[in-house]
Structures are given as structure tokens and as C-alpha cells.
Structure 1
Amino acid sequence: MNNIFRYLFAFTCWLLFIPLGQAQTTSDLATKYANAKQLITAKKFSLAMAELQPVIAANQATYSPGAMYLYAVAATQNQKYAEANQKLTLLKNAYPDWANKADALFLEATVAFEQKDYDRALTLTESIESKDLADEVTAMKYHYLSQLTEKATWQNLVSRHENDKMLGQWYADKLVGGWYTAADKGTLEALIKKFKLDKNKYLPENQENLKKTSFNVAVLFPFPQNEAEIKARKNQFVTDLYGGMLLAQDSLAKQQIQLNLFTYDAPADTNKVKATLQLPEMHNMDLIVGPVYKSASKIISRFAQQNSINSINPLSDDLYLVKNNLHLYLFESSITTRAKQSAAYAIQNFPLKTALIIAENKEEDTTFANAYKREFERLGGKITQYKKFNPKTTSGATLLANVDLKALGHILLLSNTPSVAVFTLSNLAQTEATTPLITYPSWLNVNQISLSQFNNREIYFIYPKFIDNTQPGPQQFRRKYATRFNVPPTVYAYSGFEMLYYFGQVLQKYGSRFNGGLQNEGPVSGVLFQGIGYAGAQDNQYVPLIKMQDLQLTVVNPIFR
């Protein structure tokens, strides 16, 4: 949950209206309450709960209801959902007219979702009357319901919450995306009528138009606009990306899957992107690839949502870009997914369930580290220490000082700084420690380190773009790309091919409304990359981990289909 500070802010604003004299007569309670808020901000949730107990027990109208609420916030963060529910129920019964009861209902719904009590959670969201929370309620429903993949559960929820338009349209999308059977005809027609959905897109007799062998794909990239820009190799990554897509188009055509690619210039200027999306032909697209710049994320999100057209971001690893919109996907795995999958591998494969986390203080590294810590602890592991450092002021030689490596389960070291890699490998060699180390693949390119220093050691690289050049797929692609474009392929060319080839097959299998079908698609081996699969998520859920064995980079968590 990311609502702690909103919870604290909401109640702090309410406290501003407490009469001064009343606050002075309850100074002890006020002190404990203030301490608890600071503890929650510092994520010391158990201590905050203990601090709030006497404030709740005082049954004092000024502070007790807020204390009950904040206790529930802390308990929820500690995954003590029964305690959170108990305090929220007490709050409702003891102070039914509390000024912030909408926030309490929101929190109670969050707890219900966390407990997978979807029916109760939706009932609670329906009782939240505050318009200020409308966007947050919608975001919460998207977050939790997107994890729900059982058709029977969806059927039950739709029947019990028949006036929930978001739920009804979402289920209709799932039906036409792959769940539809003849038995669903009455349900789908009722949803179309009740929520005024587009009959041309949702009626069963029109679904054959969505499952076809020829699809229109809009490509919104910042293409070079003149000969001078081409010669200057401006945005060369776009040229490479699109080159890979063209080869995928050829390969799919040999499988009787016809993709018609329509290119549009989509620079960082959002006005131009907006103008492109307003073109009449955009409404006839089966898929949109791009835009690639973050500045256009809100524009494409709105268009995809309003027109029920899926869009793929081919390059970003920022999960925020697809938040709250099931028509948006990342081709890449997100930073959060990479962290979670790496933590799951460590739990499953390393004997000792303890870890030391060392991360540079860059946003990408700390985001990864925080997600790793949460997942590793959720799975039962223990983080013995979490260090953040600035490589400009902290020497890599000191990072493992005073660390008993032989007693440690493994190390997660998140740094692309070459000197950090050099000092870390030197330290491991000097201590003769066999402690597993998980890190970035950039270490493989550090000139001061020979590949033999990685060989047959417990060093694992988080390597989403790993390509095994000994395999026939990459070898054939390189030959075809070089023949057609007279240059060797870059990683962008590989990405362009793999992305379009995968989603071209998805389009053939499920049609343009492939959202429901994609939920059940587990990871499969790629033609070039090691794998891709979504399994109900909106970013690639497969993250290859690599280690050096007999001087060959080897995938330790391969896909066998």
C-alpha cells in the first residue's frame, strides 16, 4: 500500500480544528498520538500499534477515533488484517459520525481486498460517498481485480454488484477477450444494454471480426523526419526498433498472420501525439505500439481506455505507466517484477534464507532494492542489513567490510559502477567466500575483470535482454537483419522483433481484445530472448537469471516451452 501519508495527512488536517483548550487537557494522549504518527512514517508499525493502544483505551473523542484508524493503518502495513478489521469495526461502532469515516471505509476495503474477500471489498467501496476518493477507489479496484483470473469468481461478483459499471465493462472485455461461450450470451447482452456498451465491439456475432488473420498495427515512434536526421542517425534506436519489427512482420506472414504496420511520428511534443490519436483511422487499429516517451503516457492511456484498443510500450520498465489501465502493457519486465522474481529465486534455491542488500542511492537501484526486500521478507526470508551508498563518496572497497560472508545466505548488490564490481570480486576471492551474489549484467563488461573471475562462482546476473548467440534463432536473425539493412542488429532491433512477433501471435490466438486470454498465458521461450509471458500482469513476468559456467553464460531459471 502507498496510502500511509495520505492517511496521516487526512487526519492531521482534521486535528487542526480541535479546540486548543481540549488539546491541552489531553497532552499525554496527544504526545502518544504524535509519536505513533512518526513511527508509522518511519515504517515502525509494531511500535506505532503499541503506542496507540492507551490512546484507544482512553475512549476520548478527540484522539481515540483517530488512534483506532491509525492502528488499523499500521496493522495493515504489518499484514495483521484481523487486528486492522477489529479496530475499524470498533471505530464504526463507537464513533459512527467520525469526520474521516470515508478514509476508514477505504482502508477497510483495502484490507478486504488483501484478504481476497472481493465481494465485501466491493460492497465497502460502494458505500464510500466522498468524491475526493473517487480516483483512489478506482485505482484500488484496478489493482486488486487485475489479479483475479477465475471466471466463476468474476461471474459471481458481476451478479452481486450489478450496478458497478467498471466491473461490468471489465467482465465484458474478458468475455470477448477469450472467456466467451454460448452460455454467456444473455449475460453479455445484458451488460451491453445496461452500461450502453458498443454493440459492434461486444456482440458475439461481431467477435469473428476481432479474431482474424489480418490486423492493423499503429506504430507511434519519433521517426527521423528528413534526410539530414537520417544521416545524423537521430533517434537511431527507433530505426533499429522498427527494423526488427519489419523482420517480425515477414516471419509472421509466413505463418499466415498478416500485420499491416502504419507508422506515425510521435515525438516528445504531446500536442503532435494528441493530433495523431485524433486521426479517424486510429479507431480502426487492432494494436498500438508506442509512444516511447513518458510525456505522452497520459494521452495514450486515455485513448486506449476510451477506445478499448491495447497499446504496448516497447522500451519502458516503469510499471507506473500502465497503472490503472488494463489496455496498456509493457514489453519489458518492470523493475519491481525483476526484483520480485529474483527474490523468489533466492528463496527457492539458496540454502540460507538471509540476505544483505547493498544499493546505490539512485532511484532505479533503491526501487529495486525496496521491492526485493518486501518480496524476500514476504516469502519468509530475513534481510540482515540494507545499505545505501553514493559511489562518489563511498569506496567500493568498504562495502563488504565487517561482513561475515560465510554466515550470510546471499548478497544483492545493485550498482553499475565498475570499481564496485572490481572491489567486490576481489573481496570475495580474498575471503574464499562462496556466498551467492545477485547483481547487474553490466559487471560482465568491466574491462578490469576477466570472465574467468566469474567462472563457476555463485554470481548471478539479472539479465532481461540476454541473448544466447549459440542458438539458431539469434544466428538466423543476425544474418537476415544484416542482409536487409547492411548493419548488424542492436539490442533495439532484437526487442522490436521479439515484441511484434509475440504480440502478432497473441492477436491471431485471441483477437484484438486479447486481455482476457493474455491473463492465462504463462511464460514461453522467445525466438531471441529467453522468454516472455504475462500471466495476468501488464509487464513481462519472466526474468532470466544468468551465471557463468565453464566460461559459458547459462540461464539458471530456463523456460522449457
Structure 2
Amino acid sequence: MPHVYLSRLRCLCWLLALPLAAAAQTAGPRSVGQKSAGAPVRPAALPARPDAATRYRAGKAQLDQGNYAAALQQLEPLAQPPARFARAADAAYLSAVAAARLRQWPEAEQLLNLLRTEYPAYPNLPDALLLQGQVSFEQQDFDTALKALALLPPARLAPEREALKANYLPRLSDRGAWQRLLRRYPDDAALGRAYAERLVFGGAYTDADRPQLDELIAKFGLDRARYAPRPRAAKKSSYNVAVLLPFELNDPSWQTQRKNQFVTDLYAGLRLAQDSLQRAGRALQLFAYDTGGDTLMLKQVLAQPELAGMDLLIGPIYKSSAKLLGRYAREHQIVCVNPLSQDGDLVLDNPWHYLFGPSAATQGRVAAQFALNTFGPGRPGVILHEDSKDDADFATAYKTAYEAQGGKISLVRRFDPDVEESLNAAFAGLDLPNTSHLVVASDNRRPGPPVLGLLQRQPAATRPALLCPGSWLENPRLDISQLTDPGVFFVQPKYYDESGPGYRRFRQLYVQRQRLPPSMYANQGFEMLLYFGAALFQYGPAFQASLASAGPVPGAVFEGQSYAGGAHDNQVVPIVKLNNLELQVLR
């Protein structure tokens, strides 16, 4: 295998946080040109089955182009010993890379086990061990990951190996698991440093940890000043909250103001929650900072010394800025809450960073539990999802959770909602009579009509149920009769009861102040500060452990909040259906 090609694949192996490319769609049949008049028509010759070498080259080309599903289909059969292919080891490794890029971690692990068992003399085995580390980390198997990485020769792939550890080890939260790993790998500097950071910056430190922390500092030459535990923040009678949002006040044009109306609404909801807390005797001050549309202004804001004295940070909106603020929150040990993101990766390795709403992965996991309880494991389910990170995360979490509980997913397909051919291919050839339910993950308005039309053409006796996003309820392309079908269910994390006393009171106060009804963003701003503001007064600024052990809290507007078990995104995900033109909460 050429050295340049291998080097590029190494990058593909461990930088899997990048968005995944769409799986290649199967090409349709080629048209046959017409013969000239009078010419004899001969039957077309059947195409010859491509030989193994041709399939291998085609699979490598597909992998090169980012068509990972097509690459896996071409390469995996060549990796099996019965194929007797001369480059079977390379095919196994490249198949594992393709499976990893599709986030099919169990399949990638099987291929890597095949490679190491059947082809132990593979010259590029270090690359496979590096990929094994990533695959095991992704499946929360930290012991196997460290064991695989320890087999790498010391001089091979050292930067990539350490980068993997730095990326994944902070995601481990169980103290017992940390202690077991430290006993098994006592000389692993990355592991020791990661645990020291967990103790000092993760809010897990107690006085009983002092001897072990001192030992780690001495053994691995850590900066004692940096790893000195800071005293826990005590409860106060008043708290300061910084709101870092892209108000873009430097651009007063109507286009910018209209584009940023959601930011203004979000902040208006925060201000109303501040008033509610004040009326309850909880003094809380809001300090608004304009972060602009890029990270440059945010960096300038973070350089202001008063920010380090805040008790809570809220914001920002854009992902690049969210990562930057998350690092700041960790370094200064201030809880930061992202108001809108569904990307659970933002908070995976940061105990000081929270999502206000449920991540896409949590939504997928909860939806899978609901589906298994409601539809049963008798027939398999089918998942169709948009080719975006959030929807891919939803689909992966759904499939993993559903199959872990005894269910089966027979098919997972990606689609691009803006490409007609991709939509048509996603919905073609589905075995609906033998499917218990269909899951469609896409907020785009285009998939709804063909999906519901396809289901309605199916006889009621064999029609599968449908799980789809709550945003479909606002899709003007869908008829109300389609949405009220008894087999249609909605994953609606933003559900709220308009007739509930909490929402009615909030709406009344909001209209009095703003002279217009609240938007969804105003709802979110109000609920977010009401919940986290109350947590400040109840537990103090370092409230992570308290939230982890607390049960769900009913919301004033939404169904509720829960960060039980150490979760850093909301675990409350309502599943609803439309019954007699009213939404009914099923979970």
C-alpha cells in the first residue's frame, strides 16, 4: 500500500468527529441505445463478474471518495479467508476504516479482530492497532483501547496515539473504572494526567484524593501549580450570570436584526426568568456580552477579567464558539450551559459544560426504548436519516439502544433531503409488510409527504408505525389527516402544554413586557435560567454532583429537566401523538 495513502487513512481513523460523507447510492441501470432501422437486435451480453483485484481497486476508490458504504460492500468479502485474495489483509483494514467512518463500531471491531487473527504478519498492523484503540474508545471499552494502543511500537504513531487518549479519556466518568485503569496501566502518562485533570477540573476532588493526586504530580512531572485543587465555591445570597450571545450590535441593518430575532427572543426569556427569580427572593444579575458571528469577538470577551468571576455562563450559539467557551469554562471551573445545541460531543469530555436540551443521541436512545416497549421486538425496524451529524447521531444511538434491548434494525439508510434522487432511493424497495416501525430522522420539510404517502398506500393491517421529529407537526406540506394517523408518533423534546398553568402565567408576563406572544426561543430562555438559576441557589456554583443525584424536575414551560446519573444533556424527551387534534404525551 502506498505510504501517502496510508498516511491519509491514519488521519481518517481517529479524526472521526468530522461530519461523515453520504453513503453512495446504488447506480441505476444503464440505458441501451436504439439500433438503426433494419439492424438485427441481439440480446445484450451479461456483464462479467469483476475479479477480486478489480473489486479491490473499486473499493479503494470508493473509500477515497468518501463513499464508505459502497467501499465496505466491495472490500469486506475480499477480507474473508475463503476468498483467498492476495491482499485480503489490506481489504480487512480498509473495510474496518470504512465501517468506522460509518460509525458502525461493532462491525469495525469484527473486521479488526479478523485482521489480527487471520493475518498477524500484516506489515501495517500498527495502523490497525491505532484504529482498534478508537473503535474500543467509542464503545466505552477503555481497557481494550489502552491495551491495543500499548501494543504499538514506541516510535510508531506516537502523536496519533496520544491524541486519541487525550480526546477519549476525559469522557470516562466512573471513579471505579478510573482506579482499575490506573492499576493496570500505572506507567501511562496520558492516563495519569487525564485523571489528575478529572480530579482538579472535573469537580470530583475530595480531601481523600490528595495522596493519589500528589503521587500523579510527582510521577509524571505535572505542574503542581496547575493541578492544585481550588477551594469549592460556597453558596451565596446573590449570583452573577454571563450571557454570551451573537447580538451583533455593530450591524443595525434590518437584515441582521431579522436574522438575529431568535437571539433577541432567547435573551427576552432569560430576562423574564431573572424577574421571576427576583420575585422569589433569589437575587441574580445578568451580564450580556455580544460575541458576534465568529470566534474573534468571543476571544476578546473572554479576555475581560470580570468574566472569570461569574457564577454561570450561558451561550454561545455557533459550534466553534461553543467549543471555545467550553474550554474556558473548564479552565476557570464555571458551569457553562449551551442553550440550543443538540450535539452531545460538545459536553462529552467537559464536566463544566451542559446542554440545556437533550442531545440528538439521547433523543435516539429514548425513542428506541419507547419503540421497543410499544411495538415489541417481533419484527425489525427501519431507520432513514438525513445526512447531517445530529441526525446520524440520532440514528446510531437509536440502533444501538434498540438492538441492545433485544430488537432488530434491518436497514439503515442516509439521504440528502435536497436531492430528489437521494430521497427516492431512500424510500425505494422497503419491505413494509415485514417491518414493525419506520424511523425517519430529518427536520427538513421534504421527506414528510413521500414518507406518509408511502405508508398510507400500505394496507392498514400491514402498515408499520412511524416515528418522526416533532417539527413535522409544523410542516404545511402535511395534511392533518396524515398526522393524526394512529400509527404516527413524534419525538418532541420541545413539547409544552399551552393550556398548562405554568405556560399561561409565563405567556401573560411575556406579553405584558414585550407586547407580543413568546416564541419557542423565548420559552427556552425562560425555562433554562429558571432551572439553572434555581440550581445555583439550591446547590451553589459547582452543582454537577447534585444534579447527577437529583431526580427529574417538572418544568414551568416544558415537560421537565433531568441530568441524572451524571448526564450533561437533558434526559427528558417527550414522545407525543396527535389525538383528536390535541397532542397527547405518551412518555
TM-score by length of 2: 0.72
Closer/same/farther in 2, CA of residues 239 and 391 from structure 1, 3 Å limit: closer
- Tell whether the 8 Å contact from 1:106 to 1:137 is kept in structure 2 after alignment: no
Three-state SS of the structure 1 residue aligned to 2:128 is: helix
Partner of 1:121: 145
Unaligned 5+ segments in structure 1 are 13-27
Closer/same/farther in 2, CA of residues 222 and 369 from structure 1, 3 Å limit: same
CA distance in structure 1 between the aligned counterparts of 2:424 and 2:161, rounded to whole angstroms = 46
Closer/same/farther in 2, CA of residues 462 and 133 from structure 1, 3 Å limit: farther
Closer/same/farther in 2, CA of residues 415 and 302 from structure 1, 3 Å limit: closer
**Are 2:504 and 1:504 equivalent residues in the alignment?**
no
Partner of 1:529: 558
- Tell whether the 8 Å contact from 2:561 to 2:571 is kept in structure 1 after alignment: yes
Closer/same/farther in 2, CA of residues 449 and 72 from structure 1, 3 Å limit: closer
Closer/same/farther in 2, CA of residues 181 and 383 from structure 1, 3 Å limit: same
**Are 2:582 and 1:552 equivalent residues in the alignment?**
yes
CA distance in structure 1 between the aligned counterparts of 2:412 and 2:117, rounded to whole angstroms = 37
Closer/same/farther in 2, CA of residues 382 and 127 from structure 1, 3 Å limit: closer
Which residue, 101, 104, 115 being the options, matches 2:128? 104
Code of the residue aligned with 1:553 in structure 2: it is L
- Tell whether the 8 Å contact from 2:468 to 2:491 is kept in structure 1 after alignment: yes
Which residue, 199, 210, 215 being the options, matches 2:239? 215
Code of the residue aligned with 1:154 in structure 2: it is W
Q: How many residues were matched structurally?
A: 525
Closer/same/farther in 2, CA of residues 353 and 430 from structure 1, 3 Å limit: closer
Deviation at 1:263, TM superposition (A): 1.5
Code of the residue aligned with 2:381 in structure 1: it is A
Deviation at 1:437, TM superposition (A): 1.2
Partner of 1:277: 302
Which residue, 182, 187, 196 being the options, matches 2:223? 196
Which residue, 80, 88, 91 being the options, matches 2:116? 88
RMSD: 4.6
Code of the residue aligned with 1:443 in structure 2: it is W
Which residue, 382, 405, 429 being the options, matches 2:409? 382
CA distance in structure 1 between the aligned counterparts of 2:114 and 2:387, rounded to whole angstroms = 39
Unaligned 5+ segments in structure 2 are 13-50
CA distance in structure 1 between the aligned counterparts of 2:567 and 2:246, rounded to whole angstroms = 27
Three-state SS of the structure 2 residue aligned to 1:501 is: helix
Partner of 1:25: none
CA distance in structure 2 between the aligned counterparts of 1:472 and 1:495, rounded to whole angstroms = 17
CA distance in structure 2 between the aligned counterparts of 1:462 and 1:112, rounded to whole angstroms = 30
> Which has the larger displacement, 351-360 or 461-470?
351-360
CA distance in structure 1 between the aligned counterparts of 2:542 and 2:277, rounded to whole angstroms = 19
Deviation at 1:84, TM superposition (A): 3.6
CA distance in structure 2 between the aligned counterparts of 1:198 and 1:460, rounded to whole angstroms = 54
**Are 2:376 and 1:347 equivalent residues in the alignment?**
no
- Tell whether the 8 Å contact from 1:69 to 1:88 is kept in structure 2 after alignment: no
Deviation at 1:171, TM superposition (A): 3.0
Closer/same/farther in 2, CA of residues 227 and 548 from structure 1, 3 Å limit: same
CA distance in structure 2 between the aligned counterparts of 1:127 and 1:276, rounded to whole angstroms = 45
Partner of 2:265: 240
Deviation at 1:479, TM superposition (A): 1.7
Which residue, 516, 522, 530 being the options, matches 1:487? 516
> Which has the larger displacement, 259-268 or 310-319?
310-319
Deviations 1:411-451 (A, max 9, x none): 22355566764565566556552531122333323457664
Partner of 1:23: none
Deviation at 1:504, TM superposition (A): 2.6
- Tell whether the 8 Å contact from 2:95 to 2:108 is kept in structure 1 after alignment: no
Deviation at 1:279, TM superposition (A): 1.0
CA distance in structure 2 between the aligned counterparts of 1:404 and 1:280, rounded to whole angstroms = 61
Larger RCO, structures 1/2 (Cα 8 Å, 6+ apart): 1
CA distance in structure 2 between the aligned counterparts of 1:397 and 1:156, rounded to whole angstroms = 51
CA distance in structure 1 between the aligned counterparts of 2:549 and 2:470, rounded to whole angstroms = 30
CA distance in structure 1 between the aligned counterparts of 2:247 and 2:398, rounded to whole angstroms = 37
Deviation at 1:464, TM superposition (A): 1.6
CA distance in structure 2 between the aligned counterparts of 1:331 and 1:53, rounded to whole angstroms = 46
Partner of 2:570: 540
Three-state SS of the structure 2 residue aligned to 1:263 is: strand
Three-state SS of the structure 1 residue aligned to 2:556 is: coil
**Are 2:180 and 1:152 equivalent residues in the alignment?**
no
CA distance in structure 2 between the aligned counterparts of 1:395 and 1:118, rounded to whole angstroms = 38
